[in-house]
Structures are given as structure tokens and as C-alpha cells.
Structure 1
């Protein structure tokens, strides 16, 4: 996920302080890793440097001085271009579950036990996400985020089922090699 573009998208809604951008990011992307404040301010400095955002002013409201940022016309064009790009499907399998199963097969481990344990962990996470998205007052971004995660977990489960069914043949192939 592009932090640069996410912050531009949040700035498109109007000028904001870094603290507010971090909070809004975490609210709108509930299943994503929360942004660190340092990452927000470093990204904002780069956006200003690149002419995609600018400082609108500062205020203190009785506390520490806070800088107000706003998106520029160039930032709006960059955001629109990024949002319109098609994200290519990942060209390589880079899933840790896949890697652990292959290593277990190659080293004479117990890939079936690993798949069973992983399946249980996935099922537990799916129950948690289902509870989150069906909770009273769940907002749209929470529901969309949970649905996205649930679909990925479901795909993992389908792969685990297929792999479990193939383990006898897979381990036999390794033994012959």
C-alpha cells in the first residue's frame, strides 16, 4: 500500500494536521498496520518537497505548534493517476505458509500437522473478522476491510485443503528425488 498516496487521498478531503491524518488512516484502514507518527511526518515532508502538498499554516490551540497541510493541484493529479492505475496481480508466490509447507516436505517435517494448525489459526481469525464486520455500528470501511481479509483467508484455506490432499504424492516425489 502506498502511504504517499493514502495520505494524499486523506488530504483531498481538506487540510489536515499530521496527527489527524494518522488517526483518519487508522480509522479508514482498520485491518492495515497502523501508521507510525514518524512515517506520517516523513511522508508529509516528502509530499511538500515534491510539490504534491503544501503547508497551509500552523496553529497551537494552547498546545504544541501544529502544521496544517493541504494537497496541491499537482498532488490531486498524482492521486487521480495512481487511483486509476490497475494493480497487477502478484507475479510470484510469496506466502509464508507455502514456504513452510515446502520446507517441511523437503526436510522430512510434518506438513500435515502444520496445515492443520494453520487452518485452525485461519478459522479463528475468520471468526474474529466476521464478528467485527457484523458488530452493531460497523462502518463501511470496517466491513470492506474485513471482507477483503476474509476472502484472502478463504483462498488460503482452499489452498491448504488442496495441498493436504496432495501431500502423499508430494512427499513421495521428494523421497524419489
Structure 2
């Protein structure tokens, strides 16, 4: 089951909601995450209902189309509890577009092109660090945004440290690849 499905189960743990309210609740609690599309919410609810993890508990019309409310079933509560109790295994392989671009730059380009790419990428990361740091410093920033900014800052910092180390090794890596 997808992470989005588990998040929807968690949002329903607070009580029955319809798809529109689930999307709003997701976007409020995960403000810096990739937003859920309405289609994804309804498709996921359909799968959760098919699997017996949620059930329809009524329909309302609040000045618009019919809105079906969904509630968590006992099986849904158990699935959510099991997911929360499962420790995530650290990824056995490192995979990111950033890593792929650096390796490809070293494969097809000269060390200066790889160095130029890394330098430009470091600048973009540094600018994003500044934006997130400013967001955190604003007392009006909601706690959910601060937590998401902390998560992003930690990852950006790790990327920057990796890029710094890689920049120091570019010539060596280029020679190794083209040997």
C-alpha cells in the first residue's frame, strides 16, 4: 500500500471525512510535500474501500455535488497501526537525479563541465537553504511548515556536503572512469 494511502488512513483516524476535506487536511498537514491531486484521493479511497480499510458512512450535499464521507474500519485501524510500527529499512541503494547527473557528467564530459554542473547545483541548493531558513525564522510560519523545512534543510545540507566532497574528487573520478 502506498504512503499516500496510509496518510489518508491517518487523516480518517480523526473521524469521517469526504475526499475534498481529506485533500485539504493533507495539504494543511504536509504543506511543503507534493500535493495530492483530487483524482489520487478518490482513486486511493476506492482502493481502500475495496480492501475493507475504509467504508462509506453517508453522503451530504453542501451547496455542490454529493459528497460521500468515509470512515476508517477496524481493519483500517489495524493496517495503520501496523504501518506505524514498522521501521523503515534504510535504502540499500542510493538513487537520485542529482547523483545520476554527476555520474553522467563525468562519463560524457570533461572534468570542467562536471565541476561547472556541481558548482551551479551547489548555488541552487544554497539559495533553497536561505529560503527555508527565512521561512523557519518567521514567527507566523505554522509548525507543520517548520517541521517540513527542517527535513528539507537536513537533506539539502547532506547534498551540499556530498557535492563539496565530489568537487574535490572530480578530476580523480574522471580519470578512473576514462581509464
Taking structure 1 as the reference length, the TM-score comes to 0.95
1:85 aligns with 2:86: yes
Cα root mean square deviation, aligned: 1.2
Instruction: Structure 2: give runs of 5+ residues left out of the alignment.
Output: none
1:111 aligns with 2:123: no
Residues in 2 aligned to 1:64 and 1:136: alpha-carbon distance in whole angstroms: 39
Runs of 4+ deviating beyond 3 Å: none
Instruction: Structure 1: give runs of 5+ residues left out of the alignment.
Output: none
Residues in 2 aligned to 1:62 and 1:32: alpha-carbon distance in whole angstroms: 30
Offset of residue 99 of structure 1 = 1.2
Alignment of 1:139-158 (within 5 A): 139-158=142-161
Q: Deviations over 1:53-110 (max 9, x none)?
A: 1111001023211111111111001000001110111111111111111111111241
Taking structure 2 as the reference length, the TM-score comes to 0.94
Give the equivalent residue in structure 2 for 1:43.
44
Q: Deviations over 1:88-146 (max 9, x none)?
A: 11111111111111111111241100000000000111111112222222222111111
What is the number of equivalent residue pairs in this alignment? 176
Residues in 1 aligned to 2:137 and 2:23: alpha-carbon distance in whole angstroms: 25
Residues in 2 aligned to 1:131 and 1:10: alpha-carbon distance in whole angstroms: 29
1:163 aligns with 2:166: yes
Residues in 2 aligned to 1:97 and 1:63: alpha-carbon distance in whole angstroms: 45
Residues in 2 aligned to 1:111 and 1:76: alpha-carbon distance in whole angstroms: 50
Give the equivalent residue in structure 2 for 1:68.
69
